[in-house]
A and B are shown apart, each in its own frame.
Chain A
Amino acid sequence: MNLTSGIDEPLVLGIETSCDETGVGIVRGTTLLADAVASSVDTHARFGGVVPEIASRAHLEAMVPTIERALKEAGIAAADLDGIAVTAGPGLAGALLVGTTAAKAYAYALGKPLYGVNHLASHICVDQLEHGKLPEPTMALLVSGGHSSLLLAPDITSDVRPMGATIDDAAGEAFDKIARVLNLGFPGGPVIDRLAKEGDPRAIAFPRGLTGSRDPAYDFSFSGLKTSVARWIEARRNAGEEVPVRDVAASFQEAVVDVLTKKAVRACKDQGVDHLMIGGGVAANSRLRALAAERCERAGIRLRVPRPGLCTDNGAMVAALGAEMVARNRPASDWDLSADSSLPVTEPHVPGHGHTHSHDHVHEISKDNLYS
């Protein structure tokens, strides 16, 4: 288990169970070999959101079959793996526990090193499977139902710095809530994206949160926008008028992606970073991709957005970060690795106890501020 030097193109299997997708991916270095995902999203749909206990039950059912599927897809033998990586957090505690437990058992049975890694850092690292090695530093905008953050990563395996984050709802959460007000079902992102294409993004001037001159430059807020959209819709309904669903969807979506892209581009400029990576489920949104492309081009920033299938939660992203851990000879995790539902973004992985780490102070602060 004590590698004295890194391996060039490590073969790593990654397990992701932080929310409602059971993902198992296999990579060789930065090459994707398998990306097996079992989703319980349909089961959650009628509850209007992810139900943690339902997700945990589904993970246990899907775990071994999904590992089996990934191995078959990759056409490799488990004995040839250089390591097993798993999302240690942040995420739903019970859901994370199924993945970390299975990963530990699998790594132990195979006699391979185990790497408990950070879900958010994995969302960034997955882009290596699409666009090759990440530039250092990488500026990343992560947007999903669970997180909205701007992160600066000088080294994705050891140094990830929070620049800004949402102070209330995650961007994806706002999509889900507005979809619910419009009776469009769950999840809200894809359906709003689709309807918005036939609507006018300038039809209604919804507010852009935290964009005043005294507001924090890189933080986000979507709660006020959500309330404002809901009120606008209710006013139409109360007046007995028809709600122009397409225009509402387009104008709401525009307000979200306008702020996200503006702040991300500004962060790149301020920090002198000429690349922007966008990841997370909301990165699958077509308008976010288009507006980011437009604004990055104008600012001379190279945009890196993985294909939609790699933006949503999956095991490949965990394998990608695990492979980087092996390649850079980072210490493995211990067999008592525990799932940490509020693992700070500043900890890309959870090394074993034998290894000192200097982030204790940061740990406490970020725990309160970012993901509690």
Chain B
Amino acid sequence: MLLLAVDTATPAVTVALHDGSSVVAKTTRIDARRHGELLLPLVDTTLRDAGLKLDAVTDLVVGVGPGPYTGLRVGLATAETFGFALGVPVHGLCTLDALAYASEVEGPFAVATDARRKEVYWARYDDPRTRITEPAVDRPADLADRLAGLPVVGAGALLYPEAFPDARGPEHVSAAALASLAAERLAAGGEGFLAPLPLYLRRPDAQVPKNYKVVTPK
């Protein structure tokens, strides 16, 4: 088994290879604006580090967000195209789940990433492997009461300490965590994956024009 995991739902452009027992190579770059340029060279670097070629990959794992759309689509388009070209399955995982998995929090907690526009993408967890709410997008101030007393993991928490006083790391998502979680789930029978489709959570900004603007001066 060789899993290739990618995630571009946050400023972390992150790639990892997992052979079923451990992560064999990983690369991450933090850059919120260049997902499209960075991802494929990082895949190439990661494969070289492991001394492997893409055609050795048996499964693709992709973070489906939620996350800012433009970057998010880079990971999905890459994973889906690889999956098609190689004829191997593409497994989706919620990006927040990778942060939860990488956290070392015991007991209930939440994960929050930056959703821009002064909002966060978030979800609640019973433990690092168990998400108990659907991912959602809200203002930090509106979450402060609901998540009061809970540790909150991720850049979205660290960004708004007034709303999340018990903010914790890791700040960024890593594909290594995504790959490890996926390897566990595949070994356990392959349950718990999402379709490789983006979790946008917001409708596109688009307004139906009311009428055309009259040009004749009054």
Contacts and interface: CB of A to CB of B under 8 A. Distances in A.
A246 interface: no
A336 B29 CA distance: 14
Interface stretch (A103-111, A285-293, A320-328): A103-111
B22 interface: no
Given A47-B206, A54-B206, A94-B69, A101 B78 contact: yes
Interface string A36-73: 00000000001110010110110010011001100000
A94 B70 contact: yes
A8 B116 CA distance: 50
B84 A100 contact: no
A237 B212 CA distance: 14
Nearest to A114: B40
A129 interface: no
A57 B76 contact: no
A87 to B, nearest CB: 14
Interface in B14-55: 34, 36-41, 43-44, 54-55
A54 B200 CA distance: 12
Interface size class of A (residues with CB under 8 A): 35 or more
Interface size class of B (residues with CB under 8 A): 35 or more
Contacts of A63: 77, 80-81
A53 B204 CA distance: 6
Per DSSP, chain A at the interface is helix
A48 B54 contact: no
Contact of B40 (A105, A230, A231, A235): A105
Nearest to A339: B36
Contact of A105 (B38, B41, B82, B205): B82
Given A56-B69, A60-B76, A60-B77, A104 B40 contact: yes
Given A47-B207, A108-B43, A53 B69 contact: yes
A181 B198 contact: no
Contact of B36 (A53, A101, A106): A101
A98 B85 CA distance: 16
Interface string A233-277: 011001000000000000000000000000000000000000000
8 contacts: A53-B206, A57-B69, A57-B198, A78-B85, A94-B69, A97-B74, A101-B36, A106-B85
